[in-house]
Amino acid sequence: MSTQSAIRRFFSGVSRAFAWGRAALGNALVLLVAIGIVALVVSSGPSTQTIEPGSALVLDPAGSIVEERTPPSATDVLAGVPPTGPRLRDITRALAKAAEDDRIGALFLDVEDLAFVQPAHLHTIGQSLTAFKASGKQVVAFGDHFSQGQYYLASFADQVFLAPMGEVSFLGYGLFGFYTKDLLDKLKVNVHVFRAGEFKDAVEPYTRNDMSEESRRSYQALVDQTWTLFLNQVANNRGIATDALADFAARYDEHLAAADGDAARAALEVGLVDELVDADEVRVRLADMVGRDGDGYRGTSFADYLRPALPSTDAPIAVITASGLILSGSGDAGIRAGDMTRRLRNVRKDDSVKALVVRLDTGGGSAFASEAIRRELELLRTKGKPVVVSMGSAAASGGYWIATAADRIVASPFSITGSIGVFAMVQTLEESLAGVGVNFDGVATGPLVGGMNVFDGVGEQMQRVLQSSVDYTYRQFINVVARGRGMTPDEVRAVADGRVYSGQQALEVGLVDEVGTLDDAIRIAAELAEIDDPEVRHLHRRLSPQEELLSRMVEELATIAPRLPAAAARHMAEEMDRLFLLNDPRHIYALCRTCSPVL
């Protein structure tokens, strides 16, 4: 036997071993996927959980409440955004079900692990808590420390308990951002801006070192309105004068000093909480209320209580949720025009769908992508299928562009909308490169070839092209709003120019039809389609196994990694997304820079 032949046989054997290994691994993966699908079907079916009569439902959401689960983006990971928590509709559905469930005798609010929550989402959950209380069942809330958003939900409880060394963070709303003009000047980065709309401030972080007076007026009115709504609701919940709550927030330092630095006592004295007790005492009281289960009280987590049922495949009302930046093309991040229009075409062709509700949660993005989605909604209406838009925390700028195609628009009073304006922005590095001895040169067949080059600036003719394009797109925006809302272009301009509005303010100026929730939007869609008792199907993209794995990894990392405050982390992630993801083919955007008050 030759050495060469032996070597060939050896490597041939190794090759066959690898081939066998690949086949075995592939078969194992197929088997695992099959088992996973079966497990998913089983776990998604009706709950077989045994719940003792009179038990407490424990509402204990963790992470950030979202409209729809999406895979975490790279910017979310880098910024330390809290892991995705439960969907808003799952919380409201659990509360509605529990209100009518004879096995559930009370509700325990445990919001300690709840991270950032948009004001519009707080309002929706608050309405569901009010409906639950109307069933005559008690609601108890406890916290070692209540953030402002956590306390808003706790204030709906019949009894609010705070740990003796706890605190209620109750300071107000604000809108803040970074301004980088000095940094860009030092780096010799030229920022070329073309905009339409006096209040269109999405470019200000790159062209100013502070907020413009126009933006300050617009956003101050927004946060004041949001804070007033917040105070009025909490005052009503707790039976405290609104002025007393506002004074506690504005002069918290004095209230704290009067309580000798005891934050828990300060909260008790103003009436924010009912009693200062520790967690063990709360569990004892719950056991007395709903019965004992071993050493604790009888209770079930809402995640266990509300196992998702298999969705109906032929319900007459479809709901599509769209959240994030509006972007061209297809992909995972944001609202992708290619993916969204494909889903809308499927709804248009599906004869079993009689009406569509679009749940929007976006501050806008690509003008081109916004128009593509709006046009597809318009085509859907020509098939005789009513379209109702439900606004989440925001449906501003490009989000409002899309909403104009609806038969009706429903907003939360806390929704942020409007921001009717457009801009283009190009950043170039010719001076930065020249400063280190790098120059850029070449030949072209005309003056506009290379007229917008990151290494060579923006020529005068190209500047005129961009400004003309922005002006035209703004006129298009005005016209689609005018057609959709039954207004004249001049009437739209009077409320446009990039101004932002709360949902309540938008109702007053005619930009929305009703203040309400997603359930209200579904009710309106049923009325328009003349459906008496509608079933609803939520059409959403399921996460792939890889995305599920990434989500779980991020959740695990979040438990050990240092993290910014939830609101600050989300703000940083949004800024990074705008920097890396915006992809309009003409560089023209309908985008609201700051579309959520920071808690």
Residues forming the active site = 200, 397
Q: Where are the beta strands (DSSP E) in 310-369?
A: 317-323, 326-327, 335-336, 355-362, 364-366
The residues that bridge with 417 in the sheet, in sequence order, are 395, 501
- Cα 450 to chain centroid distance, Å, stands at 38
Nearest to 96 by CA among 462, 495, 509, 517: 517
CB atoms within 10 A of CB 492: 24
Length of the chain: 599
How, if at all, do strands 364-366 and 588-591 pair?
Answer: antiparallel
Show Cβ contacts of residue 62 under 8 Å, excluding neighbours closer than 6 positions: 83, 85, 86, 113, 114, 115
Question: Are 373 and 341 a contacting pair, CB within 8 Å?
Answer: yes
Q: Is 563 exposed, middle or buried (0-12, 13-18, 19+ CB in 10 A)?
A: middle
- Lookup result for tokens 């797109």: 473
| Alpha-carbon separation of residue 519 from 89, 344, 356, 523, 541 (angstroms) | 9, 21, 13, 6, 21
CA dist 168 and 147 (Å) reads 6
Q: Is 179 exposed, middle or buried (0-12, 13-18, 19+ CB in 10 A)?
A: middle
Q: 360-373 b/e with 16+ CB inside 10 Å = b?
A: bbbbbbbbbbbbbb
- Cα 329 to chain centroid distance, Å, stands at 21
Q: Where are the beta strands (DSSP E) in 355-441?
A: 355-362, 364-366, 387-396, 408-411, 416-418, 422-428
Helix/strand/coil for 171? coil
CA dist 421 and 364 (Å) reads 11
CA dist 31 and 33 (Å) reads 5
Three-class secondary structure assignment of 63-82:
EEEECCCCCCCHHHHHHCCC
